Amino acid sequence: MKYYILDLSPHNSLVKFLTGQGFTVFMISWRNPGPGDRDIAFDDYRKLGVKAAVEAIGDIVPDRQIHALGYCLGGTLLSIAAATMARDGDIRLKSITMLAAQTDFTEAGELTLFINESQIAFLEDMMWEHGVLDTTQMSGAFQLLRPNDLIWSLVSRDYLLGERAAPSDLMAWNADATRLPYRMHSEYLRKLFLNNDLAEGRYLVEGRPIVLSDIHVPMFVVGTVRDHVAPWKSAYKIHYQVEADVTFVLTSGGHNAGIVAPPAEEGHFYQVKNKPENAPYVGPDEWLKVAPRTEDRGGRNGPGG
């Protein structure tokens, strides 16, 4: 995902909010790979992305801990980087925020329709020829997850009725698609989606396994109700994977709008509840009943209301 989804416009910019609160904000602008980047590995994204960014921040503002945030695949990468740092005694992270991100892929939602041995082999053959997974192929898969919203409604409105939707910052961002390199995407699909190595303690970093239970820094985790990419109950599994204080937020909306839309807008709501590090585990269905719910200005407030 292009990094500036968290800095779209003044009214929904996380960067603007954080700088207004006195934070110094750094963002990783991920390279959009081409055919020459075909052999970039998944772990290279950790080393050349997350690890390099942490080191650069340390050079600019030394002796300061970092509040790290990762969105979607960036959140998965952050969890891997954080577990590696914890394993190696690196204490530079102060807290971890994960937005619509998964660390256990056993219930990864409708995207699993495209993830099996034959589908991955087909993708690998296609990526081997071009060196990357092209933007049209990636966006097509996500459109198929929500055909009513992302395909048929557009055909009906744009083609049959001749009506063009008003442009928005999120639509412009969505059109700025990215590619994924052959090796990185193949490793991601096989090690995480197909084999679930990260959740089951088999994921190796620099030849040694990492486990999420080594993470002890506080976590702020956000899921969205209509997320077809990272279902909220899948993101919720972080509660029993880490040994940390976890604050979980469930918002209205989907994978993108549910993250960037201001909570005070009409029709929006969110639920939030904290689980201290040593508190007993509460399952997602029970959490849904007891987590206080806040609705838009015209709605009701109260537990489950």
Domain chopping of the chain, boundaries? 3-303
pLDDT at 187: 96
Give domain 3-303's CATH number out of 2.40.30.260, 3.30.70.20, 3.10.20.90, 3.40.50.1820.
3.40.50.1820
- Specify whether the CB–CB gap between 248 and 276 falls below 8 A: no
Predicted confidence (pLDDT) per residue in 177-225, tens digit: 889 999 999 999 999 999 999 999 999 999 999 999 999 999 999 999 9
Give the start-end residues of each E strand in the chain. Answer: 66-71, 93-99, 132-133, 180-181, 204-205, 208-209, 219-224, 246-251, 269-275, 292-295, 301-303
Predicted confidence (pLDDT) per residue in 248-290, tens digit: 999 999 999 999 988 878 889 999 999 999 999 999 999 999 9
d(Cα 172, Cα 176) in Å, to the nearest integer? Answer: 7
pLDDT above 90 as % of the chain? 68
pTM above 0.75, yes or no: yes
In this model, does residue 303 exceed pLDDT 90?
A: no
pLDDT at 305: 32
In this model, does residue 51 exceed pLDDT 50?
A: yes
d(Cα 283, Cα 67) in Å, to the nearest integer? Answer: 27
Amino acid occupying residue 118: S
pLDDT at 160: 62
Q: What is the dihedral of CA 78, 79, 84, 89, to 10 degrees?
A: 90
Predicted confidence (pLDDT) per residue in 61-116, tens digit: 999 999 999 999 999 999 999 999 999 999 999 999 999 999 999 988 777 776 78
- Distance set, CA 281 to CA 166, 173, 211, 238 (Å): 45, 37, 19, 11
Nearest Cα to Cα of residue 70 among 23, 6, 18, 135: 6
Q: Tell me the pLDDT of the chain averaged across its residues.
A: 88
pLDDT above 70 as % of the chain? 87
Residues marked active site are found at 72
d(Cα 7, Cα 172) in Å, to the nearest integer? Answer: 13
